Amino acid sequence: MRALAVVLPVALVLSLGAVRWAASGGHDFTGFKVRLQTADIEATVAFYHGLLGLEIVDRWSEGDDSGVIFGLSDATGTAFLEFGRVESPNNGAASVQLRVEDMDGFLRGLGDAWAVDGPHERPWGSVYSYLRDPNGVQVIVFDGRV
């Protein structure tokens, strides 16, 4: 599986170059990172790295502070997903969305390793499959338009 973008439900558009946030006055950003919470770093690593194949860009554990950062293409992508360890995670209505080039290939590669709802064709032409990570965060894998 080759993930092309991590998309979260905010008014941002990611490209392989710089991230442009029009509402901020046109500043050029060079990356995008979202931090979510987990009570179980190992289960989170097993899901995002072991199952979905995201690269581990950084990992730390210093006293009460531990976490992991995942990236695309061994940190050369422009989007990163960080999980920090907390006793009682609260990720609200967050979702993680990963775009793939081949939904059928992704689903074949996943096999029976994780429960998946989909694939579902969406009205705008994309195909979506839905998973839940070990933290309860909805993970949407899609093929098509952002």
pLDDT digits (tens, 9 = 90+) for 104-142: 999 999 999 999 999 999 988 999 999 999 999 999 999
* pTM for this prediction: 0.73
DSSP-derived secondary structure for 86-108 = -SS---TT-EEEEEES-HHHHHH
pLDDT the model gives residue 41:
95
pLDDT the model gives residue 75:
52
Give the CATH fold of the 3-143 domain. 2,3-Dihydroxybiphenyl 1,2-Dioxygenase; domain 1 (3.10.180)
Cβ atoms within 10 A of the Cβ of 88, count?
A: 6
